[in-house]
Structure formats: C-alpha cells, structure tokens
C-alpha cells in the first residue's frame, strides 16, 4: 500500500469514528467547503455546512445511537492528486426500538490539496437484494 492509499484509508477511518461518536462537525471536516454529497435516499447536500447540518439531523433522529463500519474496497487514482475511493458500509441502527442493519456502497471522490486529502464529492448507494451482486471484468 502506498503512502497516499494509507492516507485515504486513514480519512475513511476518521469518517467512521466521527459517525460513531455522533460528531457531525468532525464528519463534515473531511469535506471540501464546496463538496457535494448524495445521501443513501438520494437527497443532495451542497457544501460542507449543508453536509454537517444534514448529518447532525440524522444522527440526532433516525440514526441516533447508530454505528457504521466502513471498509475500503478499492482506491483508484485518476491523477496523483485525485482518487476514487470505493467503500463498503455496514450501518446498524434502531427502528422503533428494533435493531436494523443496512448495507451500502459509498464512493468518494477525493482531492489532494496542500498535502492533505479532502472529499469533493460522495455518493452513498444502498445495496438492495436486487443489486447485491458484483461483477468483475
């Protein structure tokens, strides 16, 4: 693993830790000021402040006391300073007191600026029974 891949893995680890601490400000801190985020239900947040507010809302309501586990499935460098980071997400939450789980495949577009990586775009896609498989060329 290269140093850049290690740094991207570290960023993902910190995103996971911020979510699990219900710290929306720490979660949003990894995003560029003008970042774009499409959440798991298809809603769209434009900008770090909107991403922080959206995460603060869900971490205080529907995903209160939830935990996620993120794993990096693949890093693909488009340029030395731009990377796609393909993730697997396992979310555990409570729905009317009943434990639930949800699997997703988020993808991050990260840009290296001033020696550090930041997220410029992220899309989180829920894995449904229909779309659970993977195909590799």
Q: Which domains does the chain have, with CATH numbers?
A: 3-126 (3.10.450.50)
Write down the pLDDT at residue 39: 92
CA distance readout (Å), 117 to 10, 38, 99, 109: 10, 19, 34, 10
Write down the pLDDT at residue 1: 87
CA distance 45 to 13: 22
Tell me the pLDDT tens digit for each residue of 6-32: 999 999 999 999 999 999 999 999 999
CA distance 69 to 137: 27
Spans of the chain below 70 pLDDT: 130-137
Write down the pLDDT at residue 12: 98
- pTM, rounded to two decimals: 0.90
CA distance 34 to 113: 14
Q: Which residue in 85, 90, 70, 73 sits closest to 117, CA to CA?
A: 85
């Amino acid at each position: 693993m290269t140093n850049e891949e290690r740094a991207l893995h570290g960023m993902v680890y910190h995103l996971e830790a911020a979510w699990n601490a219900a710290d929306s400000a720490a979660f949003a801190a990894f995003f560029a000021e003008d970042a774009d985020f499409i959440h798991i239900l298809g809603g769209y947040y434009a900008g770090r402040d909107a991403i922080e507010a959206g995460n603060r809302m869900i971490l205080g309501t529907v995903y209160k006391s939830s935990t996620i586990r993120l794993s990096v499935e693949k890093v693909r460098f488009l340029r030395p300073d731009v990377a796609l980071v393909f993730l697997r997400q396992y979310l555990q939450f409570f729905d009317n007191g009943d434990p639930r789980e949800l699997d997703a495949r988020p993808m991050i577009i990260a840009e290296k600026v001033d020696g550090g990586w930041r997220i410029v775009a992220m899309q989180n896609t829920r894995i449904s029974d229909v779309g659970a498989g993977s195909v590799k060329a």
